[in-house]
Amino acid sequence: MNHLKKYIIDFLYRSGGYIFFATIFSRGLSFLTSWITLQLIPNKELGEVLYSWNIISFLMPLIGFGLHQSYIRYGALPENSANNDFLFSYIVKKGVIASIVLTLITSICSFIIPFEFRNSGIYLSAMSLVFAPAFLIEALKTKARLTHKNKKYAFIDISYNSLLILMVIFLSYFLKEIGYIIALIITPTLLLLFYLKTFFNGNTANRPNFINREFWKYGFYASLSNVATLLLFSVDILLIGNILELPEKVTAFRYITLIPYSILFLPRVFIATDFVKFTENIRDKTYVFRYIKNYILLFSIISIFFLFIVVSFGNNLLSFLDSTFVIYTDSFVIVAIGVVGILTLRGLFGNLLSSIGKVRFNYYIMFIAIILNIISNYFLIPIFGIKGAAFTSAVLLWFTGIASCLGFFFFYKKYINA
């Protein structure tokens, strides 16, 4: 327990508490922004905007073709620390160009693809303008993490969400759905003005040798892995709607997974705080294995407490959302058991794989999980309904965690002996 206590103290010392608070605060503001928007914009018009924004959110991991992901991994390696100024300048320039290319591709597709809603193509094209400024915000947050300024990372996150809610209230009040779209686009741009000087301080000389095809491929596969993760969490809902053709079942599954999936912010907070630190020490076996032991111990305790709450008060939690959801308590518990696989294994070992450069293996795991998800659900949903989808999700969440764990130990041995 002394090691666990020290682990938590070190987490707080690295300003992990600020990141934890920023995450909670930002989620609260996000919920409040959604609620205010609902009050200011008619449901039909808002639905069209949100439909297009969901597509943008799905594409968001691809901004800059993932160069900010390459930046944090390669920049954290001790042998590359002297090149971080150049690295920041490089990924900013190339990432903005890549983001503009993504905007052009999205805009072209938005006018070619026949969408269900009349204005979806126009909205999608307009909102794709957010890609470049969103990438620059991520670059700033990544630079803060690389320089061990997690407090600054938290401040940027809070500033963005605070500014967003102000812009949404002001513009949506006067311009309704058009104002909401404008708020989404200009908020990151306005925040960037405050940090404009940061983008002109980097050293652009002496390009290091590690910036090559592998550098670009790392970021791209990291982005694909994130997209695949989003798809894995959403494919159940798509398949329930497609197979059962009952909108109320889609709604029910969306909400019974809401609470279990919400707790996944916890491993993200720890990884956001510690990724740079354990990447700097990735060749130190003693440090890495001690980190793994403490992380798993902490999240095992959290998981036990979480499952106790879910099993003991599942009916109450679901009835709070909607009394009709109580009949799905078994499915609720099953999904919660699956989430433990992410809490204790996937959240840690997926990022450790990224730390040793095996991000492509992460993508392969998620890709296989998606294929298995589709196949399993086509068999289980017609027979067991929502419970079949819940069982598939739980098994695959543990599959991704165990596969990441085994993959890390397999590749790590080769990595430290290289």
Reported as half-sphere exposure (CB side, CA atoms, 13 A), residue 122 has a value of 8
Coil, strand or helix at 1: coil
Q: Are residues 110 and 256 in the same domain?
A: no
Q: What would you measure as the largest C-alpha separation in the chain, in angstroms?
A: 64
Q: Are residues 163 and 227 in the same domain?
A: no
Question: Does residue 268 form part of some domain?
Answer: yes
Q: Are residues 162 and 256 in the same domain?
A: no
Q: Tell which of 200, 229, 251 closes a domain.
A: 200
Question: Does residue 131 form part of some domain?
Answer: yes
Q: Are residues 393 and 339 in the same domain?
A: yes
Q: Are residues 290 and 369 in the same domain?
A: yes
Single-letter residue type at 34: S
Tokens at 57, concatenated: 């959110």
pLDDT mean for each 10 residues of the chain (418 residues)? 81 88 88 85 83 88 94 86 82 95 95 80 94 95 91 93 94 92 95 82 65 91 91 82 74 84 91 91 93 95 95 89 86 95 95 94 95 93 91 95 96 87
Q: Are residues 266 and 152 in the same domain?
A: no
Question: Does residue 209 form part of some domain?
Answer: no
User: Model pTM?
Assistant: 0.90
pLDDT value, residue 241: 75
pLDDT value, residue 42: 85
Q: Are residues 231 and 177 in the same domain?
A: no
Q: Are residues 189 and 262 in the same domain?
A: no
Q: Are residues 190 and 233 in the same domain?
A: no
Tell me the C-alpha distance between 114 and 381, whole Å. Answer: 29
Q: Are residues 244 and 196 in the same domain?
A: no
pLDDT value, residue 5: 83
pLDDT value, residue 201: 63
**Nearest to residue 404, comparing CAs of 372, 373, 358?**
358
Question: Does residue 212 form part of some domain?
Answer: no
Q: Are residues 227 and 185 in the same domain?
A: no
Question: Does residue 207 form part of some domain?
Answer: no
The Cβ of residue 13 has, within 10 Å, a number of other Cβ atoms equal to 12
Q: Which residue has the tokens 């990544």?
A: 142
Question: Does residue 109 form part of some domain?
Answer: yes
Which residues form the domain of 263?
Answer: 221-417
Question: Does residue 306 form part of some domain?
Answer: yes
Residue pair 223/65 in contact (Cβ under 8 Å)? The answer is: yes
Q: How many domains does the chain have?
A: 2
Question: Does residue 48 form part of some domain?
Answer: yes
Q: Are residues 282 and 328 in the same domain?
A: yes
pLDDT value, residue 203: 56
